[in-house]
Amino acid sequence: MSLLRRVEIPIAITIIFALIQVIPYFVNMGPAVEATQDKVVRWTLIVSTGALLVGLTSLLLIHVPRVTRRRTHWEYSLLLIAFMFLMTIIGLPFPELNLGLTGYWFSFFYNNVLTPLSASLYAILAFYITSAAYRAFKARSLEAALLLISGTILVLRNAPLGTFLIPQIADLGDWIFNIPNMAVNRAIMIGGGLGAMVLGIRVLLGYERGYLRGGE
Amino acid sequence: MATAPRIWEKLETIDARIIYLILWIVILWPFIYPIGLPVSIGSYSLAYAKAIDDLPAGSIVVVSFDFSLGGLGELYPIAIATLHHLFTKPVKIVIIAIWSDGAIVADMVLKDLKPDQPPYNRKYGEDWIFLGYAPGGETAMAALGKDFWSTLPTDYYYKKHVSTYPIMQNLRSANDVTLLVSLETGTPGADEWVRQWYVPYKVPMIVGCIGVMAPTVAPYLAGGQVKGMLPGLRAAAEYELIIGRKGLGVASADALSTSHMVFVIFVILGNISYFMRRRSK
């Protein structure tokens, strides 16, 4: 097998760079190791910025064929491509042409197109959630009833009118939030943390190969 | 007798558009005719305000905009109120963004507040600075914790090197930061800040977040890593009342009440119709 296709090389790179990050986090390894760690962090930042280009390419690979082959809703794909390039061009740092992130045109499109669209999309959730809750939030079992009661109490606790009409709802809501909710969330966090640790060890030992295009 | 179950069945399968219309009316109505219901103030909001009030003069506070436009509805009032509170204190404010849209949202908030003008009269580069977006998510948080100058070498507005600004002379790493304020809608957010700034540097933080994030931030409040939290619009209203600057939070409180009440009524109605239909079977 060609040297470049050997799986040991990316695994070795992963192990080396992971150890450079992990060990100095717990143990003081001296200025040389810390400087290397800083350099690796900076590489990560550069790579993550470069990932934007991957995103751009990926979007084009999906949407350009949709437009050229006139697939269903190809008009939306065309709109997406057009606005992607428009925002990229007007976001270029040429302040003398009123371009750039703080320029007039970028702010204009951002404030008058993207902001209202995003806010509307988020606001629509309230309508969907109410409709969905009306249909699905039913006390079909003991567990569902408990969820229903605690959810309703917290909704009432979050509404100024709820605490105004029933002042005790504030204490009850706080109790649900601070005791059962906190306990469950801590359990999830601890479980997630342990899982991440195990995954990290598996990656370090070379057992986890999902990131190598699927692994075995 | 056959009509009774049909009523419950009809009620259970009510057209979604009727629900949308009722909700739309009850949200809009209080904006036209405000009710002015009292808003009781919770302990988390008090703790959030206290964390800012207790800052010694000259402290460096980092405010991070970790959200995109989707969170604007809930976080914009919190961002405005928090920055207003900070700009009225004799502290140094460094504004950053870990989310790409965060920088633009921060710019919108700053343009609304105008910190250089009365009543604040805070000098850019001396009392406050806006460093813009740091790409890389959690890695950027770690890099900022180690070295601000090399992670965000220029400011957002003038693209000048940060070393030319007096405010940055005393800020090299997270060790120089007295308080971190994270305004966030998700990941990266509180979890990552705790990992990258609290654990290694012990930087205390306060969090303004959307309502649905509150349960995930709560364990950090109990653990002491997060000193105060403002979850959602109600908390924004509470905070505005604490600092004595009524804004969007208070203005939206009535709509929050009516919409939540309608939600509860619909849930109760849905359950009544469900049980009545089941009983009639």
B106 and B128 assigned to the same domain = yes
Stated length of chain B: 281
Q: HSE-up of B156 (CA within 13 Å, CB side)?
A: 24
B84 and B151 assigned to the same domain = yes
A173 and A142 assigned to the same domain = yes
In this complex, do B107 and A135 lie within 8 Å of one another by their Cβ atoms? no
Q: Per-10-residue mean pLDDT for chain A, 216 residues long?
A: 73 88 84 88 85 90 95 95 93 87 86 87 89 91 94 93 91 93 92 93 84 61
Q: Which positions in chain B touch A196 (Cβ < 8 Å)?
A: none
Only one residue has tokens 């012990």, namely: B202
Q: Which residues pair with B132 in a beta bridge?
A: B96
Q: Please tell me the predicted confidence (pLDDT) of residue A216.
A: 47
B138 and B87 assigned to the same domain = yes
B85 and B131 assigned to the same domain = yes
| Dist CA B271 CA A148 (whole Å) | 10
A2 and A67 assigned to the same domain = yes
| Dist CA B74 CA A123 (whole Å) | 10
A118 and A182 assigned to the same domain = no
What is the domain-level CATH number for residue B71?
A: 3.40.50
The domain in which residue A37 lies consists of: 1-90
Which of B264, B269, B273, B277 would best serve as a mutation to test chain A binding (most A beta carbons within 10 A)?
B264
In this complex, do A127 and B271 lie within 8 Å of one another by their Cβ atoms? no
| Dist CA B210 CA B231 (whole Å) | 5
Are B174 and B195 spatial neighbours (Cβ–Cβ below 8 Å)?
A: no
B141 and B262 assigned to the same domain = no
- Domain end, chosen from A62, A90, A118, is at A90
pLDDT range class, residue B5, cuts 50, 70, 90? low
A123 and A143 assigned to the same domain = no
Please report, for residues B27, B53, B241, the alpha-carbon distance to residue B246 in angstroms, rounded to integers and kept in the order given.
Answer: 19, 18, 6
Q: Which positions in chain A touch B238 (Cβ < 8 Å)?
A: none
Whether B85 is covered by a domain: the verdict is yes
| DSSP classification of residue A159 | S
Q: Does A127 touch chain B (CB under 8 A)?
A: yes
pLDDT tens-digit readout, A60-70: 999 999 999 99
B217 and B87 assigned to the same domain = yes
Other beta carbons less than 10 A from residue A122's beta carbon = 18
B110 and B241 assigned to the same domain = yes
Other beta carbons less than 10 A from residue B172's beta carbon = 13
Whether B9 is covered by a domain: the verdict is yes
pLDDT tens-digit readout, B210-260: 999 999 999 999 889 999 999 999 999 999 999 999 999 999 999 999 999
Q: What's the total number of domains in chain B?
A: 2
A168 and A84 assigned to the same domain = no
CA-based radius of gyration for chain A: 26
| Dist CA B37 CA B25 (whole Å) | 18
Show Cβ contacts of residue A173 under 8 Å, excluding neighbours closer than 6 positions. Answer: A153, A154, A156, A157, A158
Q: What's the total number of domains in chain A?
A: 3
In angstroms, the first-to-last Cα distance of chain A is: 17
Which of B9, B15, B19, B68 would best serve as a mutation to test chain A binding (most A beta carbons within 10 A)?
B19
B81 and B21 assigned to the same domain = no
Only one residue has tokens 């040297």, namely: A3
B237 and B135 assigned to the same domain = yes
Q: Which positions in chain B touch A25 (Cβ < 8 Å)?
A: 200
Nearest CA in chain A to B111: A102
Instruction: Indicate the angle between helix axes B248-280 and A115-136, nearest 10 degrees.
Output: 30
Give all strands (DSSP E) within chain A, no chain letters: none
Q: Please tell me the predicted confidence (pLDDT) of residue B66.
A: 95
**What integer is the mean pLDDT of B170-188?**
96
Q: Which positions in chain A touch B14 (Cβ < 8 Å)?
A: 134
| Dist CA B86 CA B61 (whole Å) | 8
A124 and A197 assigned to the same domain = no
Q: Which residues pair with B92 in a beta bridge?
A: B60
Please report, for residues A150, A153, B216, the alpha-carbon distance to residue A185 in angstroms, rounded to integers and kept in the order given.
Answer: 15, 19, 6
Whether B38 is covered by a domain: the verdict is no
Q: Which positions in chain A touch B23 (Cβ < 8 Å)?
A: 126-127, 130
Q: Please tell me the predicted confidence (pLDDT) of residue A45.
A: 83
- Say what the ipTM of the complex is: 0.84
Are A123 and B233 spatial neighbours (Cβ–Cβ below 8 Å)?
A: no
Other beta carbons less than 10 A from residue B209's beta carbon = 28
A214 and A142 assigned to the same domain = yes
| CA B205 to centroid of chain Cα atoms | 13
In this complex, do B257 and A161 lie within 8 Å of one another by their Cβ atoms? yes
Q: Please tell me the predicted confidence (pLDDT) of residue B2.
A: 54
Whether B261 is covered by a domain: the verdict is yes
A127 and A171 assigned to the same domain = no
Q: Please tell me the predicted confidence (pLDDT) of residue B86.
A: 98
Q: Please tell me the predicted confidence (pLDDT) of residue A11.
A: 86
Whether B103 is covered by a domain: the verdict is yes
pLDDT tens-digit readout, B52-98: 999 999 999 999 999 988 888 899 999 999 999 999 999 999 999 99
CA dihedral over B271, B273, B275, B277, signed as positive or negative: negative
Whether B200 is covered by a domain: the verdict is yes
A19 and A69 assigned to the same domain = yes
Question: Which A positions 141-160 lie with beta carbon below 8 A of chain B?
Answer: 148, 152, 155-156, 158-160
The domain in which residue B158 lies consists of: 43-246
Are B148 and B172 spatial neighbours (Cβ–Cβ below 8 Å)?
A: yes
B269 and B198 assigned to the same domain = no
Our CA-based measurement puts residue A171 at a distance from the nearest CA of chain B, in whole angstroms, of: 10
Q: Please tell me the predicted confidence (pLDDT) of residue B3.
A: 59
Among the residue ranges A67-76, B3-12, B33-42, B67-76, the one predicted with the least confidence is: B3-12
A200 and A166 assigned to the same domain = yes
Other beta carbons less than 10 A from residue A168's beta carbon = 8
B272 and B176 assigned to the same domain = no
Q: Does A115 touch chain B (CB under 8 A)?
A: yes
| Dist CA B190 CA B219 (whole Å) | 11
Q: Which positions in chain A touch B73 (Cβ < 8 Å)?
A: 119, 122-123
Whether B117 is covered by a domain: the verdict is yes
Q: Please tell me the predicted confidence (pLDDT) of residue B196.
A: 93
The encoded tokens of residue A8 equal 């040991």
B57 and B155 assigned to the same domain = yes
Burial A203-213 (b: 16+ CB within 10 A, else e): beeeebbeeee
* Mean of all residue pLDDT scores within chain B: 93
Whether B272 is covered by a domain: the verdict is yes
Query: H/E/C letters for each residue in B46-113?
Result: HHHHHHHHCCCCCCEEEEEEECCHHHHHHHHHHHHHHHHHHHCCCCEEEEEECCHHHHHHHHHHHHHH
